[in-house]
Amino acid sequence: MGESCNGHSNGHSNGHSNGYSNGTGVTHVAAHPVQDQSAASPYQSVQDYISNVRRYKIIESTLREGEQFVGAFFNTETKIKIARALDSFGVDYIELTNPCSSPASFEDCKAIASLGLKAKILTHVRCHMDDAKRAVEAGVDGVDLVIGTSSFLRQYSHGKSMEMITKTALEVIAYLRRSVGPQPIHDWRQINCQNVEVRFSSEDSFRSDLVDLLALYKAVDNAGVDRVGIADTVGGATPRMVYDLVRTLRGVVKCDIECHFHNDTGCAVANSHTALEAGSTHIDTSVLGIGERNGITSLGAFVARMVVTAPEYTQSKYNLTELKALETLVAEAVEINIPFNNCVTGFCAFTHKAGIHAKAILANPSTYEIIDPKIFGLTRYISIASRITGWNAVKSRADQLGLTMTDDEVKEVTAKIKQMADIRPLAIDDTDSILRSFYIKKSYRTMTHEYGRFYHQGLWLCTRSELSEFIEELEEAISRARTGLEQPTSTKEWEDIMAIIEGLDDLRCKALREEGKMIQREEREERLKREKRGKR
């Protein structure tokens, strides 16, 4: 049985107070190292020559894509707070809203670019000369160019043909290159000595013509971009589609490949992982996945996935224990709750309920956990307040509360908990109360019995060592009775226990007085003996 924690339980898990936690009847158990999964875990994907799962980079777009979330409004101060928190978490890039969006967007871009963060600061702009110029003025480390390439976007968004897109893209890329320093035209990559990165991305890549798309990517790659991007703008791609497209593109361009997945059909994290397996190098995320419509790959869910796939890389590169605070910061900024079923930080993400699960979790958490909550600075919990609770879980709770019980007693009290849980949902306080009441009744019986024994044992038959032993036993009994007193379930029980304590205390005083007298007697006898010896 795993070690249990003596901390008190308040029914909250992972620090959330979103209205569910008070009634969940959960209790936390001590962190228990997950069995080493590094060697044999089937969840770590095969590392072939093309896969980047063990060297991926995160382009964090809460301050760009996230600002497209309907509820988002970030003032400058909040943007800076979020940027600093992302930087501290360890993301490689922070992407900001187009500085053309508004005067404040431009100023915020400039302010964040001058913070001196470790993360590179990017801004996301239309593949258009005016936007590119403004991006450079904002002083960012890199510019993410984007333009729609699907027939939908060509017709209904910007109205450009593929030829026009290619022409504009090459002009803008050339401009960005010029704007960042001297041009050793023979080798575009050396221009990077100015530390400005250029990425070119197609919007709606999966609904774009593959031949056109690859030709465009080849052209911009030759023009010297640092990355090309693929975007599943409407969130319709499946992992297999992602694998095919990224794998094909990997064979066409030399530069890095960034991927951006919307979550309309719930595939964003899976698609991100698959993209890395297929040769993508950079993944776009946002905190809690916020973005246009229902958003994109969530940073937290993505690192949860990657800590399983690539534990050493992910844990050494990112400060995972900061995830909760980061998500809380963003959740508060956009006035949402962290969803109950959020990966890692959802309030029940590490809460185990069914008796079979709880027993095994107490013995070894790896039996029902793929991630050790400790990696994220969090705690696992066991719910012990339902009809599907088992005695092993109840025993662990009794241990936490410091209530010593035999297995048979725990089984008896488990039956009582189930009886009550069949009638109505229980909170942790209910089960604790059942446990305590059971314990007090048992202790009361024992105490009454002990009291009688002590009382009748009396003080007159004792030697001094018997008396000391008797006092020790009394003190233990008083302390046990006090434990009962801390957990009374009714006034009557409280009064009974008080009476017992007073009785025991009285006996203890008498015994101490007796002991004192004995000591004095012994000392007097000793003195007399010494005096007698002296006279002789």
Ligand X SMILES: O=C(O)CCC(=O)C(=O)O
Ligand Y SMILES: CC(=O)SCCNC(=O)CCNC(=O)[C@H](O)C(C)(C)COP(=O)(O)OP(=O)(O)OC[C@H]1O[C@@H](n2cnc3c(N)ncnc32)[C@H](O)[C@@H]1OP(=O)(O)O
- Catalytic residue list: 357
134 binds ligand Y (CB under 6 A): no
Q: 28 vs 128, which CB is nearer to ligand Y?
A: 128
Of the two residues 295 and 355, which places its CB atom closer to ligand Y in the complex? 295
The residue from 244, 292, 505, 514 that contacts ligand Y (CB under 6 A) is 292
User: What is the C-alpha separation between 54 and 205, in angstroms, rounded?
Assistant: 25
Site string for ligand Y, 174-213 (x = CB under 6 A): -----------------------------x----------
Distance, C-alpha 55 to centroid of its chain? 22
Interaction partner, residue 101 (ligand Y, ligand X, none; CB < 5-8 Å by kind): ligand Y
From the list ligand X, ligand Y, none, partner contacted by residue 134 (C-beta under 5 to 8 A by kind)? none
Closest CA to 349 of 301, 399, 292, 408: 301
User: Which of 37, 47, 88, 157 forms a contact with ligand Y (CB under 6 A)?
Assistant: 157
Where does this chain touch ligand Y (CB under 6 A) — which range of 76-84, 126-134, 488-496, 524-532? Answer: 126-134
SS3 annotation, 128-167: CHHHHHHHHHCCCCEEEEEEECCHHHHHHHHCCCHHHHHH
One of 26, 112, 122, 147 touching ligand Y (CB under 6 A): 147
Select 204 or 430, whichever has its Cβ closest to ligand X. 204
Report the side by side order of strands in the sheet with 351-352.
26-29, 380-383, 351-352
Nearer to ligand X, 191 or 257 (CB): 257
How far is it, in rounded angstroms, from Cα 394 to Cα 414? 7
59 binds, among ligand X, ligand Y, none (CB under 5 to 8 A by kind): none
Number of residues that bind ligand Y (CB under 6 A): 14
| Shortest separation between residue 225's beta carbon and ligand Y, angstroms | 15
Do 229 and 258 meet the contact criterion of CB atoms below 8 Å apart? yes
What does the per-residue mask of binding to ligand Y show for 211-240, with x meaning CB under 6 A?
----------------------x-------
**Closest CB to ligand Y among 11 and 148?**
148
For residue 126, the partner it binds in ligand X, ligand Y, none, with Cβ less than 5 to 8 A by kind, is: ligand Y
Task: State the Cα angle at 443 between 439 and 449, rounded to 5°.
Answer: 155
Question: In whole angstroms, how close is the CB of 284 to ligand Y at the nearest point?
Answer: 11
Rounded to a whole number of angstroms, the minimum distance from the CB of residue 231 to ligand Y is 7
Q: Which of residues 461-500 bind ligand Y (CB under 6 A)?
A: none
Which is nearest to 49 in space by CA: 199, 250, 249?
A: 250
- By CB under 6 A, tell whether 98 contacts ligand Y: yes
- 166 interface partner picked from ligand X, ligand Y, none, CB below 5 to 8 A per type: none
CB of 284 to ligand X, least distance (A): 7
Q: CA separation (Å) from 34 to 2, 56, 302, 373?
A: 12, 25, 20, 9
Binding to ligand Y by residue 100, rule CB under 6 A? Answer: yes
| Shortest distance in whole angstroms from residue 145 CB to ligand X | 8
Contact between residue 223 and residue 170 where contact means Cβ atoms under 8 Å apart: yes
Task: Give me the half-sphere count of Cα atoms (radius 13 Å) on the Cβ side of residue 467.
Answer: 19
**Nearest 10 degrees: Cα torsion 360, 18, 9, 356:** -20
The partner in contact with residue 262, picked from ligand Y, ligand X, none with C-beta cut-offs of 5 to 8 angstroms by kind, is ligand X
Nearer to ligand Y, 160 or 480 (CB): 160
C-alpha distance from residue 90 to each of 202, 304, 315 (Å):
27, 15, 11
144 binds, among ligand Y, ligand X, none (CB under 5 to 8 A by kind): ligand X
Binding partner at 128 among ligand X, ligand Y, none, C-beta below 5 to 8 Å by kind: ligand Y
- What are the C-alpha distances in Å from 152 to residues 59, 129, 158, 302? 26, 23, 10, 29
Q: Kindly tell me the sign of the dihedral angle through the C-alpha atoms of 334, 289, 157, 170.
A: positive
CA-closest candidate to residue 212, choices 165, 170, 280: 165
Nearest approach in angstroms of CB 8 to ligand X is: 47
- Decide: is 126 part of the binding site for ligand Y (CB under 6 A): yes
Calpha distance 157→130 (Å, rounded)? 17
Between CA 242 and CA 65 the distance in angstroms is 20
Binding site for ligand X (CB under 6 A): 65, 124, 144, 146, 201, 203, 229, 231, 233, 260, 262
309 touches 43 (CB < 8 A):
yes
Q: HSE on the CB side for 294, CA within 13 Å?
A: 10
Between 121 and 403, name the residue whose CB sits nearer to ligand Y.
Answer: 121
List interacting residues with ligand Y (CB under 6 A). 68, 98, 100-101, 126-128, 146-147, 157-158, 203, 233, 292
